[in-house]
Amino acid sequence: MKKNLLLLIFAALVLGACNKDFLDTKPTNAVPDNDVFNTADNVETVINGTWAYMFEEFFTYAVPGYKSIHLTSDAMGSDIAVTQSYGLRDAYAFTEMVDNTKNRVSAYWTIIYKVIDNCNNIIAKVDNAAGDADKKQRLKGQAYALRAYCYLTLASYYQFNRTGAEKAVPIYITPSGATTAGKPKSTIGEVYTQVISDLQNALPLIKNYQRSATQKWKIDLNVVNGLLARAYLQNRQWKDAITYAVAARNGYPLMSGDDYNKGFNDINNGEWIWGHAQTPNQSNASYNFHYLDVSSPASYYQSFMADPYFLNFFDSADVRFRLFDWDTLPNQEGYLRYKKFRFRDPSALVGDLVLMRAAEMYLIEAEAYAQSGDNANGAAALNVLRAARSATLYTGGGQLLDTILVERRKELWGEGFSLSDIIRTGGTVVRKPFLAYNGKDSIINVPTGNGTFVQVPAQGHLTLKQPDGNPFTPYSPYYLFAIPITEIQNNPNLNN
């Protein structure tokens, strides 16, 4: 492994700020440890700056921070028909994330492992800092949880978990430097063991921490419980997934139908357990909305359209159904828009980013019950969510597990779970052309604005097969993210 540069700037400690100018890439030895980690307040600035780097660092316009990993996950799924005008076209076509020379491949790896290294430094050094003992314990717990979040991301996209023995990614749990030797890949089972261990270590350290209502980006007990629910679900530990999903959503009621239609852009939403807030002065991460927001005139890309077949999952009484309409914008006529995401402030191009919601916890609970054979409790958890969305309740028929997995697609569309769910369940991408019964283009009537309509061919998926020409299949190697060429070149132990 080429050494990960610790993103610690002493000037930031002086300024006490957390914005896009906060970060730099000076090497670890540019700032003495006794300056950076000598007080609990300084350590907190380190973790704040690490968070800012994670979400606000721009590699390119196509990689606006960590949240763009979620854009890529959804672009590579079944339910978003990415237009060919801007960004994520190659990810959507499955030609980018398998190419270890691509910028996006390198950027994601760099973001994740730099954050891991910062967390390693905090965990190793915070105990020796001066300051309040409870604060130091809380910061250590948050560093454990953030490191776990990064390894959970790596587990989600870099390997299948079929037996637990598949080689995945290297694990680093101590600070790295110029002489640090690169580590070999650990198994996917070992990665999950590390994730769960870190989160269990975090629990007692932050159990008494109460964040303010305006600081939902800070990791608290609910967030750690939610991450444990995800990790246990992905690692097929159903009982534990249920326990922690129920704990995570405590105090976070499901939002109303009216709130669901407000654009998924406000961290003050009562259902949001975890999110990343944006202001006009700290808004790099809001760039993600340019892909997701397909209805605000100020949105530039407007590239995440819905697969027309996706609409068929919703009944007309569902509050989510009202978010669909056919595009009437020039040069994009015929696409089905799903207007779930909209800039909170279109003039400033600002919108907060959601990271965890109570709805996901109900879905984890429902799936874990169904996987363990308890259909009654699984259906009950599913129906709590469906009732909140005014959707038809599940009363049996069909396969409950399949119904729950479809509900995840409906509820979590655009939040980054598409590809990771396909990878973890052994599922497959499903894309088919949107055609009429006679095999020709489906024709829709698009209003012109003066009371008349123009007929245009409806647009759906444009990439229907893998790059090798074969149909999409379960466990396809095209689903997995590549390790960047620079890591392969600089870490001779990677494949040992």
Q: Report residue 338 as tokens.
A: 């799903």
Percent of the chain with pLDDT over 90: 82
pLDDT band at 451 (very low <50, low <70, confident <90, very high): confident
What is the rounded CA–CA span in Å between residue 328 and residue 332? 7
Residue 444: the pLDDT is 84
Most confident range (mean pLDDT) of 2-11, 84-93, 394-403, 442-451 is 394-403
DSSP letters for 429-479: ------B-TTSSBPEEEEE-SSS-EEEEEPB--S--S-TTSSPP-TT-GGG
Cβ 27 vs Cβ 5: under 8 Å? yes
pLDDT, average across residues 196-210:
97
For residue 1, is pLDDT > 50? no
Domain ranges of the chain: 10-434+462-490
**Is residue 109 a contact partner of residue 102, using CB atoms and an 8 Å limit?**
no
- The proportion of the chain whose per-residue pLDDT surpasses 70, expressed as a percent, equals 92
pLDDT at 61: 86
DSSP string, 397-424: -S-HHHHHHHHHHHHSTTTT-HHHHHHH
Structure confidence by residue, pLDDT tens digits, 289-311: 999 999 999 999 999 999 999 99
**Structure tokens that stand for 401 in this block:** 């597990």
Q: Residue 2: is its pLDDT beyond 60?
A: no
- When the pLDDT of each residue in the chain is averaged and rounded to a whole number, the result is 91
Q: Is it the case that residue 432 has pLDDT exceeding 60?
A: yes
Q: For the segment 42-68, what is each residue's pLDDT rounded down to a tens digit? A: 999 999 999 999 999 988 888 999 999
| Tally of CB atoms within 10 A around 353 | 27
Ramachandran angles phi, psi of 13, nearest 5°: -65, -35
pTM of the model: 0.93
Q: Which fold has domain 10-434+462-490?
A: 1.25.40
pLDDT-derived band at 132, boundaries 50, 70, 90: very high
How far from 238 is each of 53, 230, 232, CA to CA, in Å? 34, 10, 7
63-64 and 336-338: which strand pairing?
unpaired
**Does the pLDDT of residue 136 top 50, yes or no?**
yes
